[in-house]
Each structure stands twice: as structure tokens, then as C-alpha cells.
């Protein structure tokens, strides 16, 4: 059974810091991995999607890497801003035969002005 864990569970940093959020999964046979952002009481916004054959994806200040063999992904946020404060979730899609995603436990990020 696939389990997805995110460390740390919560993080508070001053504005301007570069930071790394971690996601680990127990079954390396994944099809892809997706990072999401969730603001309080809101739905999810997709940030980055990495296919199993890819090593990383970049969008603006965000960079996500994937090491499938070790069951890890990291989300790097450069020059953090207060507007980045949210919960970040990673999710893995198990295989190409299903669209189901298994979500991680999330990291609650607070960037202090």
C-alpha cells in the first residue's frame, strides 16, 4: 500500500529565505507526482507535475525534483514571500491504469514579513 509522507509538518521562516519541502513515498512504482498548494478553507492549486521519467520541473520560484528510486521528491521555493504561506501537498499517481492520487500529509508553511 502506497503511503506518502511530508516533512516537516509545519514550517515558519522569515521572508526571503530559500526553503525545501520534502515528500517521500513507499512504493517507487509511480506514474507521476504532483505538488499542490492549498490556502485555508480553499481547494487545491496545482503547482508542478513531474512524470516518473523526469527528474525535475520548474515554474518561476518553484523547483520540484523527483528521485523515484529512493521514493523522494523535494519542492524548492526560492526567495520566499508572505504570499507563499499555505499548506503544500504532494500526491503520487500509482500507475498509468488509474487516475487516482494518494496525497501526502502536507506541510503548513508560514512566511513571516
Applying CB under 8 A, the residues found at the interface with other proteins are: 31-32, 34, 36, 41-46, 49, 51, 57, 89, 91, 93, 99-106, 108
Nearest distance from C-beta of residue 46 to other proteins, angstroms: 6
Listed residue (27, 44, 26) closest to 35, CA to CA: 44
Distance (Å, whole) CA 17 – CA 103? 26
Nearer to other proteins, 14 or 60 (CB): 60
Pairing between strand 19-25 and 72-77? antiparallel
Nearest distance from C-beta of residue 16 to other proteins, angstroms: 27
Nearer to other proteins, 71 or 104 (CB): 104
Listed residue (59, 27, 53, 46) closest to 89, CA to CA: 46
Nearer to other proteins, 59 or 70 (CB): 59
Amino acid at each position: 500500500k502506497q503511503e506518502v509522507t511530508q516533512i516537516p509538518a509545519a514550517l515558519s521562516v522569515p521572508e526571503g529565505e530559500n526553503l525545501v519541502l520534502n515528500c517521500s513515498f513507499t512504493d517507487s512504482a509511480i506514474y507521476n507526482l504532483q505538488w499542490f498548494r492549498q490556502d485555508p478553507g480553499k481547494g487545491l492549486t496545482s503547482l508542478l507535475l513531474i512524470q516518473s521519467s523526469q527528474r525535475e520541473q520548474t515554474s518561476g520560484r518553484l523547483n520540484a525534483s523527483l528521485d523515484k528510486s529512493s521514493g523522494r521528491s523535494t519542492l524548492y521555493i526560492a526567495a520566499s514571500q508572505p504570499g507563499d504561506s499555505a499548506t503544500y501537498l504532494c500526491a503520487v499517481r500509482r500507475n498509468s491504469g488509474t487516475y487516482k492520487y494518494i496525497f501526502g500529509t502536507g506541510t503548513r508553511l508560514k512566511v513571516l514579513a
